[in-house]
Every structure is written in C-alpha cells, then in structure tokens.
C-alpha cells in the first residue's frame, strides 16, 4: 500500500511540485513478489529516497529532457531480462552496444551513477543501482508532472548483460499493434499495461530513422498530412542521424495525457503509437486515457510497479555494484570496478 508519510516528506522537500502531487498521487495495491519490500531500506539507508529525489529534481531543473531519458533506461533495462541494472553495464559486450540502446541519453546514465555515489557516501554500499534506477525513474515522472506512486525495493544488480536476442524483444517503433500485444504478453504484461506504458511517450524525442518509414515515398494514410509534410521537411537533411522530433506535439515537456490527443489527431510520431488509437484491441483504452487523465495516471502507476518487479534479483542473488557501469569483478567484455567504485585502468 502507499505510504502518505513519504508523500508528505516529498511535498515538504520539493515545494514547487506540491500542486502536482496533491492531485496526482496514486495508491497502488499491486501484490509484491520476489522478495521486495516497501520498507527495505528503512533501517539500512533511510535517506535513500530523499537523496534520489533531490538529485533528480535538480537534474530536471537544468534539463527536463532527462526525465524521458530515465524512463527509457528503466524500460529498456526491465523488459529484456528484468530490472537488474544490466543495461547500465559498459564494455564491448554490453547491452548499450545493441541498436535499440544506441541513443540512450548519456546524461541520464551519468545521473544514475552520480546518485549511486551520493547514496553510498551516506549509507555505504547498501543500495543497488537497480533500485536507484527505479526510484529515479519514478521521481522523474513526478517532477515532470506525472503521478507519484510508491515502489517496493530490494533489487540487486545483475552480473551479466541481457543477450542480443533478449534485447531484440524490445518493442520497436514500427511494430503493428498485434506485435506489440504479443511482445508485452510474453513479459506477462497485458493490453492495459501496453497502452499505459506507451503513454510515457508524452515526454521525449524520436530520431528521424525511427519514423522514416512513415514518410515519402512510403504511403501512410494514418498520419495527419500537414504533420507528415512537416516531418518530411525536417528529416530531409539528416546525414548524421541527429535530427529529432518531440514525441508529444502538444505538451512535449509535461507528463500528461496529451499524447493520446496526438493519436486521435493522427499526430502520433511512431507507427507503434498511432496504431493504439486505430486498432480495435487498444482503441477503447487509448480513448479513455485521452478523455480521463486520472485513469491514465492510475493505470500507468500500476503498470510501472508491475514492470518494476519483473525477474528481479533479491537476497543473495546478484550484487551491489560499486559503480553502476561496471561489475565488481572483472569479466571478459565488461569493465570492472576498483575498491572505490571507479573503473579499473587495466
């Protein structure tokens, strides 16, 4: 169950978010599985949530785009093999070398390890990078206007990155709705989870290559013609692959339900997004979220808590990394951490 005392602390610590939180706090009654706990760090590191929250709020004050970066890292970490911070590992055989992860935001990755360093300075190496990623993502959602929800803690960090095949299970921007439904079903996530979690595209950017298939000379009658014309002009000169477009044309820096309005107006950027309003299996839920932001926030919170518990490592499994980007012991193809949590030189 939700803990109002933590919400109260949050309200006092970040006064600029009081109005948002007072109307957007979601109580999630999803069952806790796999040995996680609402009070896991109450004795060993009671300051962890406050430290994470402060760093995320400061980072987003400087660059609101980091919110989308954190949400993407969380999703891309959890979906392939579970929420074990394996995506944070660096090196030649890391998940970061796979195509879906090539455009992860370096600032968001750095923020997670900066938070890890601050937490470990205060409490010692008690808190995993996986838990820090989960908390930072939740706080990024809140700081950009989305719902507050408690998350159970106690994850440990994985020893190995997900395989290429596992990373390949990440849903792509060109997926049709039946492909999306199957991909989510394979990870025990339902259609409501699919439509709600897709709503995270209310913040963030897409590169031209991720939606070029919807532009001329290809035909796509599911996209608003003036919007298509604008995107075509924008992406016509992108030799370096660096041109981007906001995912939500109405409120690109606010976590709200306007993403679903975009879909109704045929202004969803990705084929996978636009299909949600067009396909009979997802249309009703997407329309409901467009009409009722509270319903979207409620389901998004539930789906995030559900995803955050997928295939987690707990108790004696995994490790508490001294550096989120490296394992504590050397492994071929991956970096390793020294005694102070810094990458080893050799």
- Which of 55, 76, 120, 201 does the annotation list as catalytic? 76
Q: Given CA atoms 337, 339, 341, 343 in this order, what sign does their dihedral have? A: negative
Q: Known catalytic residue: 76?
A: yes
**Residue 9 to residue 107: CA distance in whole angstroms:** 27
Kindly report the backbone phi and psi dihedral angles of residue 199, in degrees, each rounded to the nearest multiple of 5, phi listed first: -65, -10
How many other C-beta atoms lie within 10 A of the C-beta of residue 219?
A: 6
254 contacts 145 by C-beta, under 8 angstroms = yes
**Residue 124 to residue 226: CA distance in whole angstroms:** 55
Cis bond upstream, residue 217 (ω within 30): yes
What are the beta bridge partners of residue 343?
337
3-state secondary structure of 343: strand
**Catalytic positions:** 76
């Amino acid at each position: 169950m939700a803990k109002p005392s933590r919400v109260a602390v949050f309200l006092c610590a970040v006064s600029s978010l009081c109005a948002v939180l007072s109307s957007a706090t979601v109580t999630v009654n999803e069952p806790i599985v796999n040995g996680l706990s609402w009070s896991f760090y109450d004795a060993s590191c009671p300051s962890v949530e406050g430290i994470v929250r402060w760093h995320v709020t400061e980072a987003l004050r400087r660059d609101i785009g980091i919110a989308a970066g954190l949400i993407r890292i969380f999703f891309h970490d959890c979906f392939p093999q579970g929420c074990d911070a394996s995506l944070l590992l660096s090196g030649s055989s890391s998940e970061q070398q796979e195509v879906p992860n090539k455009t992860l935001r370096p600032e968001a990755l750095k923020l997670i390890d900066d938070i890890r360093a601050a937490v470990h300075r205060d409490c010692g190496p008690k808190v995993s990078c996986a838990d820090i990623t989960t908390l930072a993502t939740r706080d990024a959602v809140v700081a950009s206007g989305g719902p507050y929800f408690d998350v159970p803690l106690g994850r440990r960090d994985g020893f190995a990155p997900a395989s290429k095949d596992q990373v390949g299970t990440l849903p792509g921007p060109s997926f049709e709705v039946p492909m999306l439904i199957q991909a989510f079903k394979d990870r025990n996530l339902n259609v409501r989870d699919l439509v709600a979690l897709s709503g995270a595209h209310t913040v963030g950017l897409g590169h031209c290559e991720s939606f070029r298939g919807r532009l001329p000379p290809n035909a796509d009658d599911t996209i608003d013609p003036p919007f298509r014309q604008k995107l075509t002009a924008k992406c016509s000169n992108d030799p370096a692959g660096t041109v981007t477009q906001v995912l939500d044309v109405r409120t690109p820096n606010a976590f709200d339900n306007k993403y679903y309005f975009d879909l109704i107006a045929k202004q969803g950027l990705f084929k996978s997004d636009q299909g949600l309003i067009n396909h009979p299996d997802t249309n009703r839920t997407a329309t409901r979220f467009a009409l009722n932001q509270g319903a979207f926030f409620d389901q998004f919170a539930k789906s995030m808590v559900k995803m955050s518990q997928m295939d987690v490592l707990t108790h004696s499994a995994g490790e508490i990394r001294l550096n989120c980007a490296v394992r504590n012991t050397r492994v071929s193809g991956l970096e390793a951490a020294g005694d102070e949590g810094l990458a080893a030189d050799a």
